[in-house]
A = this chain, B = another copy of it.
Amino acid sequence: MAAIDTVLAKIDANLDSALGRLFDFVKIPSISTDPAYAEDCARAAQWLAAELQGLGFEASVRETTGRPMVVAQGKGPRPDVPHVLFYGHYDVQPPDPLDLWETPPFEPRVADASTGKQIVGRGTADDKGQLMTFVEACRAFKETGGLPCNVTFFIEGEEETGSPSLPGFLAANKAELEADMALVCDTGMWDRSTPAITTMLRGLVLEEVVIHGADRDLHSGMFGGPAINPIHVLARIIADLHDENGAIALPGFYDGVAELPEAVAEQWQGLRAHEAEFLKGVGLSVPAGEKDRGVLEMIWSRPTCDVNGIIGGYTGKGSKTVLPAQASAKFSFRLVGQQDPVKVAESFRAFVQKRLPADCRAEFISHGASAALQLPFSSEALTRASRALQAEWGKEPVLAGCGGSIPVIGSFKHDLGMDSLMIGFGLDDDRMHSPNEKYDLASFHKGARSWARVLNALAL
């Protein structure tokens, strides 16, 4: 096994070719939520498996009823070295609205910004760029004497759609996927110069509702008034979901939501200067949401409810005096602590049913549900990883929460009895899920170097 400096030097030397590999990966429009891109998801899985085979991993693409998984095994110097399972996802969010992209979402490029070079394209940050930092770290080890740990890759293609196939796949392939711990690269830094290890993850409940009224679209002049308008009914439901203090009005919604440990609350208080910048970065200035809660608190440790999409009636140019037969909306609930995803979904559906006037009918579609997860604030692996990150960045990492949801972390804990070490190099201004998504070149380069140091530290 080579000294860590040799491995880091190799990562530096590989940077240009590593960028070319990431570009090839990003060019595949592996959008998991839209069936029209199922074939592209399969291509992305095959591309990744081939990459790992090229590095000497035993890699294979594994079919599911949804998008395929990629599993790969790589051996360390001895059987008794730690065994890590690396998780990431090759699927990406839809790029729309397309007209807001400065260049096509699946034609990656490197752009110069005041903060340094950026890799622009859908998936560069979430999660292809992050995933490739670990692949490139492994490559550097392979090219300088071999992996310091036993490494299993487990890459899915349904993360953006609630990972429907994942629990079943874990159950069916337990022996193959079990390891000492999971390493996950799908989270962010605290800021450009401060790394972070994420220890809290919010859960997610995705519900779609279609409100049906009359059996056809009607002329709003001939029927408006006496005929129920499903858009009005849906709007009332959405309005009722939050009270005047920004709290969510679903009965029992806050069951299982605890206040923060004081130590953590204090650390986050110290970070509040960041809050104004955080909103300013997206053209906002005043925190919305729950009154008397900090921005970080709301994103990291409080549950939320958002309507992610709504449509009904005539939405073309000009006007049409139609009274629509139906209206629909997509809802997402972010969960924390011990909130039960099943109970939240049930409470939501009852909440909607209770508000349906005569002649209206609600149709429900679930797009997935996962519980929140709290990882230990201290462990041997966490301590070693912290030191490794401090060596690379010169700063102690923040123990952060994460607003987004990574369902697999819960499955690793509950189904494989494995804790996860969540280390990622994304930044708040990466525009994940938005037009012109980017990943800093520094995140990509120092991310790979960070993983090399972490793998090395875990093996010692």
Contact = CB atoms under 8 A, between A and B. Distances in A.
Interface of A: 32-35, 93-94, 96-97, 100, 160-162, 202, 204, 206, 208, 213-229, 231-232, 234-236, 238-242, 275, 278-279, 282-290, 293, 295, 298-299, 302, 304, 306-324, 327, 329-330, 332, 334, 357-359, 367-368, 402-405, 428, 431-435
Contact of A229 (B202, B278, B306, B434): B306
Contacts of A239: 232, 235-236, 238-240
A309 to B, nearest CB: 4
A289 to B, nearest CB: 4
- Which of A238, A309, A316 has its CB near the most chain B CB atoms (within 10 A)? A309
Contact of A319 (B161, B314, B317, B357): B161
Contacts of A206: 319, 321
Contacts of A100: 216-217
Contact of A283 (B215, B299, B304, B308): B215
Contacts of A304: 220, 224-225
Nearest to A405: B221
Given A216-B282, A218-B282, A307 B223 contact: no
A357 B319 CA distance: 27
B316 A96 contact: yes
Contacts of A242: 232
B216 A287 contact: no
Instruction: List the number of copies, as a whole number.
Output: 2
Given A34-B316, A284-B228, A434 B219 contact: yes
A215 to B, nearest CB: 3
15 contacts: A100-B216, A208-B319, A214-B283, A219-B432, A222-B403, A222-B404, A223-B403, A224-B403, A225-B289, A232-B239, A232-B307, A288-B359, A308-B320, A311-B315, A313-B330
Contacts of A216: 100, 282-283, 431, 434-435
B222 A428 contact: yes
A226 to B, nearest CB: 4
A310 B218 CA distance: 16
9 smallest A-B Cβ distances: which pairs? A215-B283, A221-B404, A33-B318, A309-B313, A225-B298, A235-B238, A286-B358, A239-B239, A319-B367
